Amino acid sequence: MSSTQTITRRTAIRTLAGGAAALSCASTWAPSAARAADAVASQLKGNIKHSVSKWCYGKIPLDEFCGAVKAMGIASIELLGPRDWPTVQKHGLTCAMCNGPDSIGYGWNRVEHHDKLVAAFERAIPEVARFGFPNIITFSGNRRGMDDATGIKHCVQGLKRIVGVAEKHKVTIAMELLNSKVDHADYMADHTAWGVEVCKQVGSDRFKLLYDIYHMQIMEGDLIRTIQQSHPCIAHYHTGGNPGRNEIDATQEIFYPAVMRAILKTGFHGYVGQEFVPKRDPLTSLREAVRICDV
């Protein structure tokens, strides 16, 4: 897939951050969006705790976005850092998955990163807890020639140094599973079985996985069976249409109602975060995604 067809979390953040012109059109979404959102919220079944990743809606100011998503029945805006948490909380929302101090390519699989990461997470976890938020994201890092077994060993070694802090503050550290085929070349935690083994060896309920359905469809497929088998290690889910992380409707290959029903059957009580890139009016797309996933 070419660079013009694919948009990733990192490229979207760079592209949308400069969208000052969007501020002038943002207010035109509000009245009609609010009315439509109220209709959606009143019809939600209440089985799924809905969240949404802000980076996909970078042109909408956070304060305005909070009002719009709350009216839809969405309870969380995620992948935000500390400067945005008060705004979310002001609107009665949570941040179901907080940004952490590491990055996709710079994670726990390098022993030389551990001291810096431990110190950073020891500062970040209590702050997440102070706001009452449940999860903080983390990453394996890139392979750079490292084999799977060594990566697991190094990640476990580092993560065991911070799970005590997470347990104390009742915050779950969630390592995201990402595809290394299309979006994040060389990323190590690119298969569920690898992440599950890290979870087992860390041995704490405060370390689990962020299962990104879009990414794992690319790497593995067999989504429902994998969720059924691995759900004790999963703290959070992300959506996204494949190919291209587009709308999660009938234009792509994942049938989300079936996946959501499978998640519910595992007894999951966490959040499902919408993380697709809208191709239409963004709030219209988000309302439809919530409806699709609200099983």
Confidence (pTM): 0.88
Which pLDDT value is given to residue 9? 54
Which pLDDT value is given to residue 43? 85
CA 50 – CA 73 distance, rounded (Å): 7
The alpha carbon of residue 213 and the mean position of all alpha carbons in its chain are separated, in whole angstroms, by: 10
Give the tens place of pLDDT for each residue, 179-227.
999 999 999 999 999 999 999 999 999 999 999 999 999 999 999 999 9
Beta strands 234-238 and 271-274: pairing type?
Answer: parallel
**Phi–psi pair at 54, nearest 5 degrees:** -65, -30
CA 58 – CA 98 distance, rounded (Å): 17
CA 75 – CA 215 distance, rounded (Å): 24
Which pLDDT value is given to residue 216? 98
CA 3 – CA 12 distance, rounded (Å): 12
By three-state DSSP, how is residue 274 classified?
strand
Cβ-in-10-Å burial (0-12, 13-18, 19+) of 275 comes to buried
By three-state DSSP, how is residue 238 classified?
strand
Taking the chain (295 residues) in runs of 10, the rounded mean pLDDT of each run is 39 38 38 54 89 97 98 98 98 98 97 98 98 98 98 98 98 98 98 98 98 98 98 98 95 97 98 97 97 97
* C-alpha closest to that of 67 among 92, 102, 95, 48: 92
- Cis, peptide link before residue 243, omega less than 30° from 0: yes
List of residues 6+ apart from 241 with CB closer than 8 A:
214, 247, 248, 249, 251, 252, 253, 254, 276
Q: What is the DSSP string of 200-217?
A: HHH--TTEEEEEEHHHHH
Which pLDDT value is given to residue 165? 98
The alpha carbon of residue 271 and the mean position of all alpha carbons in its chain are separated, in whole angstroms, by: 9
Which pLDDT value is given to residue 178? 98
- Rg of the chain's alpha carbons, rounded to an integer? 18
Q: What is the 3-state secondary structure (H, E, C) of 11-62?
A: HHHHHHHCCCCHHHHHHHHHHHHHHHHHHHHHCCCCCCEEEEEHHHHCCCCH
| CA 97 to each of CA 69, 118, 274: distance values in angstroms, whole numbers, following the listed order | 16, 19, 12
Domains defined along the chain, listed by start: 28-293 (3.20.20.150)
Q: What is the per-residue burial (b if ≥16 Cβ within 10 Å, else e) of 247-268?
A: bbeeebebebeebbebbeeeeb
| HSE, side-chain direction, 13 A CA sphere, residue 284 | 5
